[in-house]
Structure 1
Amino acid sequence: MAKDKKAVVAIAKEPTVQESVTKVFDLLGGVTNMIKRGETVILKPNAGHAEGPDTAVCTSPETLRAVIREVKKAQPSRIIVAESAAIGCDTMECFEVSGQADVAREEGVELYDIKAEKDLVNVAVRGYKSNIKRCKIPRLLLEADHIINLPIMKAHASMVFSCALKNIKGTVQDQVHSQMHQQNLTMAMMDVWWAVRPDINIVDAINVASGYSPHTPTPLEVGIIMGSYDPVALDLIACDVVGIDTNQVDYFRAADEAGLGTTNRDKIEVVGEQVKDVYRKMWIPYLGNMADRWPEYDIRCEGACSSCQALLALNMETLKALGIYEENSDKTIVVGPRNTIPDKPKDKIILHGNCTKRFADKGMWIPGCPPGETGLYLTVKTGQVVDGEIPGCIENIIRPSMEADHPKWRAYVEQKAKEFYENPENQ
Structure 2
Amino acid sequence: MARSKVAVLRVRPDHILDDIDRLYALAEVERVFAAGATTILKDNISWHFPFPGANTTPWQLEGTVRSLRARGFSDLVCVQNKTVVTDAFRYNFKPEDMTWSVYRPRAKLNVLDQIYPEGIQIPDAFHGANIVHLPSLKTHIYTTTTGAMKNAFGGLLNTRRHYTHSWIHETLVDLLAIQQEIHAGLFAVMDGTTAGDGPGPRTMRPVIKDVMLASADQVAIDAVAASMMGFDPLTIPFLRLADEAGLGNARREAIDIAGDAALADQRWGFSVGDNGASLVGDVMWFGPLKRFQNLFFRTPLVNLFVLGSEAYHDYYRWPLRDRRVFEHWRTATHWGRLFDRYQADGTLASLAAATQAG
- For the criterion TM > 0.5, the same-fold answer is yes
Task: Rate the CA distance shift 1:405–1:65 in 2: closer, same or farther, 3 A.
Answer: closer
Aligned to 1:127: 108
SS at match of 2:126: helix
Which amino acid is the alignment partner of residue 99 of structure 2?
D
The answer on whether the counterparts of 1:36 and 1:75 sit within 8 Å (CA) in structure 2 is no
The answer on whether the counterparts of 1:151 and 1:202 sit within 8 Å (CA) in structure 2 is yes
Q: Which has the larger radius of gyration?
A: 1
What number of residue pairs does the alignment pair up? Answer: 312
Among 23, 37, 59, the residue aligned to 1:62: 59
Shift of 1:398: 4.6
Aligned to 2:210: 223
Output the TM-score relative to the length of structure 1: 0.63
The answer on whether the counterparts of 2:112 and 2:120 sit within 8 Å (CA) in structure 1 is no
Aligned counterparts of 1:386 and 1:136: Cα–Cα separation in 2: 22
Cα offsets for 1:111-168 (capped at 9, x unmatched): 879x875422311133011133642111111132x11122111111221111111011
Give yes or no for the alignment of 1:136 onto 2:121.
yes
Cα offsets for 1:77-101 (capped at 9, x unmatched): 41111121434633337xxxxxxx9
SS at match of 1:155: strand
Aligned counterparts of 1:316 and 1:81: Cα–Cα separation in 2: 29
Aligned counterparts of 2:39 and 2:73: Cα–Cα separation in 1: 7
Aligned to 2:43: 45
Cα offsets for 1:214-267 (capped at 9, x unmatched): 231221111112111211111111112222233542232332344321222211
Aligned counterparts of 1:60 and 1:237: Cα–Cα separation in 2: 20
Give yes or no for the alignment of 1:11 onto 2:42.
no
Task: Rate the CA distance shift 1:87–1:352 in 2: closer, same or farther, 3 A.
Answer: closer
Output the TM-score relative to the length of structure 2: 0.74
SS at match of 1:143: coil
Aligned counterparts of 2:179 and 2:226: Cα–Cα separation in 1: 24
Shift of 1:279: 2.7
Task: Rate the CA distance shift 1:212–1:75 in 2: closer, same or farther, 3 A.
Answer: same
Aligned to 1:186: 169
Task: Rate the CA distance shift 1:398–1:61 in 2: closer, same or farther, 3 A.
Answer: closer
Aligned to 1:323: none
Among 285, 302, 313, the residue aligned to 1:353: 285
Task: Rate the CA distance shift 1:47–1:399 in 2: closer, same or farther, 3 A.
Answer: closer
Task: Rate the CA distance shift 1:243–1:78 in 2: closer, same or farther, 3 A.
Answer: same
Shift of 1:35: 4.6
Deviates more, 1:256-265 or 1:159-168: 256-265
Among 260, 281, 284, the residue aligned to 1:273: 260
- Listed as ranges, the gaps of 5+ residues in structure 1 are 94-100, 102-110, 287-312, 320-334, 336-350, 369-384, 415-427
Aligned counterparts of 1:352 and 1:317: Cα–Cα separation in 2: 10
Aligned counterparts of 2:62 and 2:275: Cα–Cα separation in 1: 33
Shift of 1:170: 1.3
Task: Rate the CA distance shift 1:228–1:209 in 2: closer, same or farther, 3 A.
Answer: same
Q: CA RMSD in A?
A: 3.5
Aligned counterparts of 2:36 and 2:279: Cα–Cα separation in 1: 51
Aligned to 1:155: 139
Aligned counterparts of 2:314 and 2:40: Cα–Cα separation in 1: 35
Matches within 5 A, 1:274-353: 274-276=261-263, 279=266, 281=268, 283-286=270-273, 313-315=274-276, 352-353=284-285
Task: Rate the CA distance shift 1:208–1:170 in 2: closer, same or farther, 3 A.
Answer: same
The answer on whether the counterparts of 1:32 and 1:74 sit within 8 Å (CA) in structure 2 is yes
The answer on whether the counterparts of 2:200 and 2:272 sit within 8 Å (CA) in structure 1 is no
Aligned counterparts of 2:134 and 2:7: Cα–Cα separation in 1: 14
Shift of 1:73: 0.9
Deviates more, 1:250-259 or 1:233-242: 250-259
Aligned to 2:305: 394
- Listed as ranges, the gaps of 5+ residues in structure 2 are 326-358
